């Protein structure tokens, strides 16, 4: 089993770390406080290839695999978790356009998306359909040589700032998940509107909001894939996205541990650095072990996904363990800082808030547990998925 990075992966990690350190981390607190999506940073990231990670090289994309993407996202999340997830959402949109978009749609939008000239978003969740995503009520009814969409979406990441949206809508009533199709909807379409930005506990630089579709007509060329295959396609995207959230959470935990270690070496109490006390050493050692376990669980899930092997449970585990690790490590990092960890003068309190937001990305922690439980097999005491 090989654990080292190849030359291409090592290059991507170096570029991502450098970008996170120079372009993201110095501004993350200001972006969070203002609650604004850092469009200038997004376009700089696009200039380095971060907006077309899964797009073919023929249109300027990078065509990387899920493992490499997780390496990139782990590094970027140490700069700004919120902005990184904005890039994740965009790249997932581009991936969907690459795999399921009509030739006309790809010709019109692919290059602009890869270059960061237009931002992509994903709209599945609704006010009354969150964890039970198959219960969506947004409809798409055939109208001439196209479809007419009606419904309300909620928690749309990149909502309002994105120019293109992958919208899930029901084309066949009464058929459950098999009646859901996927559509490309432009922000400028008549009948598309957005609510105010959600006021969240953290990750405020990632805009989320409601999206209202009122008699929105789109041409048939905006259908992504075949009718009725939208939900199945979404599940595949969500599998990879969960591994990605695991990677981002791991990066966030690593950033928190780095801050805690540095502070423990500088802060003095009872005549010596607090990091010299065994109690803190044990706390930091435990955090380091948990981060390493989370990291390799995430990479394994991404590797299974890349190989086309069953990865649903592994991706759920990556997200579940990654978020649990981030929440615990960030909480303990605050304890290392003591009361100073509560102040915005230090990044730890922001990391802690970001970790809580991560718990709700691409399915709650309890949904991950359900996914994992459904794949367990009882064979001579072996419950490996």
Domains of the chain in start order, with CATH, are 7-114 (1.10.540.10), 120-227 (2.40.110.10), 231-374 (1.20.140.10)
Cβ-contact 158, 179 below 8 angstroms: no
- Among 107, 88, 97, residue whose Cα is nearest residue 183: 97
| Rounded percentage of the chain residues whose pLDDT exceeds 70 | 97
pLDDT digits 0-9 by tens, 95-131: 999 999 999 999 999 999 999 999 999 999 999 988 8
pLDDT at 381 over 70: no
Question: Do 38 and 27 touch, CB atoms closer than 8 A?
Answer: yes
Residues comprising the chain, all counted: 385
Alpha-carbon separation of residue 358 from 33, 251, 300 (angstroms): 18, 12, 20
What's residue 177's pLDDT? 79
Mean pLDDT of 308-323: 96
E strands, the chain, in order? 120-123, 139-143, 146-157, 164-170, 180-186, 192-194, 208-219, 223-224, 268-269, 272-273
Q: What's the pLDDT score for residue 379?
A: 42
* Residues in a beta bridge with 20: none
User: pLDDT at residue 36 above 90?
Assistant: no
The mean pLDDT of 200-227, rounded to a whole number, is 95
pLDDT value at 380 more than 50: no
Measure the CA–CA gap between 311 and 301, rounded to whole angstroms. 6
Between CA 356 and CA 328 the distance in angstroms is 10
Contact criterion met (CB below 8 Å) for 40 and 269: no
Predicted confidence (pLDDT) at residue 30 exceeds the cutoff of 90 = yes
Tell me the average pLDDT across 334-339: 96
Q: What's the pTM value of the predicted model, to 2 decimals?
A: 0.93
Give me the pLDDT at residue 382, please: 53
pLDDT at 375 over 90: no
Q: Do residues 171 and 181 lie in contact, with contact meaning Cβ atoms separated by under 8 Å?
A: yes
Please check the confidence at residue 349 and state whether its pLDDT lies above 60.
yes
Give me the pLDDT at residue 332, please: 96
Mean pLDDT of the chain: 93
Phi/psi at 288 (5° precision): -60, -40
| pLDDT band for position 277 (cuts 50, 70, 90) | very high
Q: Please say whether the beta carbons of 243 and 196 come within 8 A.
A: no
pLDDT of 378 reads 46
Judge whether 178 and 136 are in contact, CB under 8 Å.
Answer: no
The pLDDT of residue 377: 66
pLDDT tens digit sequence for 44-80: 999 999 999 999 999 999 999 999 999 999 999 999 9
pLDDT of 1 reads 66
Confidence of residue 133 (pLDDT cuts 50, 70, 90): confident
What are the residue ranges of helices labelled H in 54-120?
A: 66-77, 81-100, 103-114
pLDDT of 182 higher than 80? yes
Contact between residue 237 and residue 121 where contact means Cβ atoms under 8 Å apart: no
Q: Using CA atoms, how far apart are residues 263 and 94, in angstroms rounded to an integer?
A: 40
- Judge contact between 299 and 351, C-beta under 8 A: no
| CA–CA distance, 200 with 75 (Å, rounded to integer) | 24
Half-sphere exposure of 58 (CA within 13 A, CB side): 4
């Amino acid at each position: 089993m090989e654990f080292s990075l190849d030359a291409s992966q090592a290059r991507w990690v170096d570029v991502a770390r450098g970008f996170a350190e120079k372009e993201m981390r110095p501004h993350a607190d200001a972006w969070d406080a203002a609650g604004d999506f850092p469009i200038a940073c997004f376009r700089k990231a696009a200039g380095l290839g971060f907006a077309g990670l899964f797009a073919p090289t023929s249109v300027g994309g990078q065509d990387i695999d899920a493992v490499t993407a997780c390496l990139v996202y782990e590094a970027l999340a140490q700069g700004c978790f919120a902005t990184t997830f904005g890039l994740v959402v965009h790249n997932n949109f581009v991936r969907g356009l690459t795999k399921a978009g009509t030739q006309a749609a790809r010709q019109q939008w692919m290059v602009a998306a890869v270059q960061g000239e237009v931002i992509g978003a994903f709209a599945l969740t609704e006010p009354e359909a969150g964890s039970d995503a198959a219960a969506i009520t947004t409809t798409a009814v055939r109208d001439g040589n196209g479809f007419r969409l009606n419904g309300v979406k909620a928690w749309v990441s990149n909502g309002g700032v994105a120019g293109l949206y992958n919208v899930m809508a029901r084309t066949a009533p009464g058929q459950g998940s098999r009646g859901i199709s996927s559509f490309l909807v432009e922000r400028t379409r008549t009948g598309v509107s957005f609510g105010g930005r959600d006021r969240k506990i953290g990750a405020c630089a990632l805009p989320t909001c409601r999206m209202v579709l009122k008699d929105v007509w789109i041409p048939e060329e905006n259908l992504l894939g075949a009718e009725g295959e939208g939900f199945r396609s979404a599940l595949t995207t969500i599998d990879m996205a969960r591994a990605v959230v695991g990677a981002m959470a791991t990066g966030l935990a690593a950033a928190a541990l780095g801050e805690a270690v540095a502070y423990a070496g500088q802060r003095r109490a009872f005549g010596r650095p607090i990091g010299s006390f065994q109690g803190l050493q044990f706390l930091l050692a435990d955090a380091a072990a948990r981060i390493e376990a989370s990291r390799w669980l995430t990479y394994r899930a991404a590797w299974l996904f890349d190989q086309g092997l069953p990865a649903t449970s592994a991706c759920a585990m990556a997200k579940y363990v990654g978020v649990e690790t981030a929440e615990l490590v960030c909480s303990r990092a605050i304890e290392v800082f003591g009361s100073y960890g509560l102040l915005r003068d230090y990044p730890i309190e922001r990391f802690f808030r970001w970790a809580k937001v991560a718990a709700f990305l691409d399915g709650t922690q309890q949904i991950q547990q359900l996914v994992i439980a459904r794949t367990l097999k009882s064979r001579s005491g072996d419950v490996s998925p």
